[in-house]
Amino acid sequence: MLKINNLSKKYDKLIVLEDILNEIADSEFICLLGPSGCGKTTLLRIVAGLGQATTGEIILNNQKITRTNTCIGMVFQEYALFPWRNILDNAIFGLEMQGIDRETARNKTRKYLRLLGLEQFEKSYPHELSGGMKQRVAILRALLVKPEVLLMDEPFGALDAQTRNQLQTELLKIWSKDKKTVLFVTHSVDEAVYLADRVIIFSKRPGRIRKTIEIKLPRPRDRTSMEVNKVRSKVLRALGAEQKTQD
């Protein structure tokens, strides 16, 4: 269980997040939606231990999170790969940080490279790969360390629509096997409805949770189905209502 207890974040006089309160069940897939600058990325960084809240706390399995923790992995919007390492060695970086010897880490990683269709590129370097391939490696690197919680900050935002849809589907396949708890930031309503168990809608800055929409549709979801369109319309109405309250 991941608990966010009355969390606020302020930089000098600028309030970024205010009174964020939520409980996220184990294996739940949560998408965070809201306008730019409302604090979604800030919240992820605090959960990851990469930043500190001004007030409130993050609790994971009854332990307060105050710094980076191997139980929590993060995938950034930019690929954050080391240009001097090939794809295989980029993927094993987290395992090396856990003290696993290089050869064991490589052998463990290769089966996942096959799963993601990257086995032919293990000796390639980041500049030789497409954006979609780079993001596959970034996701793989985060998953290999077996985090309990996976944080994803618009990981597919820079990709074309076809690649984005493909990676969403691949992510759900991996998630369905490992059942990580996922917090996923996005600006795409379609992406949120396709991926999430719950969509949490944030207000403009200072970011507050305005509405939570539960999605009980089975997976895999048909993006064009009537049921998905109904949920999409519900999310869009909630975003529209939030916009009106801020105008």
What CATH number is given to the structural domain containing 49?
3.40.50.300
**Residue at 76 is within a domain:** no
Cα–Cα distance between 237 and 210 in angstroms, integer?
12
**Could you say which of 146, 180, 195 is where a domain stops?**
146
Pick 243 or 179 by higher pLDDT: 179
**Residue at 12 is within a domain:** yes
**Which residues, at least 6 apart from 180, have a Cβ–Cβ distance to it below 8 Å?**
27, 143, 147, 148, 149, 150
What's the domain range around 205? 2-71+148-246
Instruction: Give the pLDDT band of residue 47 (cuts 50, 70, 90).
Output: very high
Could you tell me if 208 and 175 are in contact, meaning their C-beta atoms sit under 8 angstroms apart?
no
Instruction: Give the pLDDT band of residue 245 (cuts 50, 70, 90).
Output: low
If asked whether residues 119 and 95 sit together in one domain, one would say: yes
- The alpha carbon of 50 is separated from its chain's Cα centroid by a whole number of angstroms, namely 15
Q: Which amino acid is at 29?
A: F
If asked whether residues 166 and 137 sit together in one domain, one would say: no
Cα–Cα distance between 140 and 127 in angstroms, integer?
18
**Residue at 218 is within a domain:** yes
If asked whether residues 158 and 239 sit together in one domain, one would say: yes
**Which residues, at least 6 apart from 118, have a Cβ–Cβ distance to it below 8 Å?**
87, 133, 136, 137, 140
If asked whether residues 227 and 154 sit together in one domain, one would say: yes
The string of pLDDT tens digits covering residues 158-198 is 788 888 898 898 888 888 887 889 999 999 999 999 999 99
Distances from the Cα of 190 to the Cαs of 30, 115, 201, 235, in angstroms?
14, 25, 14, 9
Q: Is the pLDDT of residue 244 over 60?
A: no
**Could you say which of 116, 146, 176 is where a domain stops?**
146
What is the Cβ-side half-sphere exposure of residue 137, based on CA atoms within 13 angstroms?
Answer: 32
**Number of domain units in the chain:** 2
Instruction: Give the pLDDT band of residue 135 (cuts 50, 70, 90).
Output: confident
Q: What is the largest CA-CA distance in the chain?
A: 57
Mean pLDDT across the chain: 88
If asked whether residues 88 and 133 sit together in one domain, one would say: yes
The string of pLDDT tens digits covering residues 195-242 is 999 999 999 888 899 999 999 999 989 999 999 999 999 999 988 766
pLDDT number for residue 196:
96
If asked whether residues 95 and 156 sit together in one domain, one would say: no
If asked whether residues 67 and 157 sit together in one domain, one would say: yes
**Residue at 159 is within a domain:** yes
If asked whether residues 164 and 56 sit together in one domain, one would say: yes
Could you tell me if 185 and 154 are in contact, meaning their C-beta atoms sit under 8 angstroms apart?
yes
pLDDT number for residue 242:
61
What is the token pair recorded at 189? Answer: 């309503």
If asked whether residues 60 and 174 sit together in one domain, one would say: yes
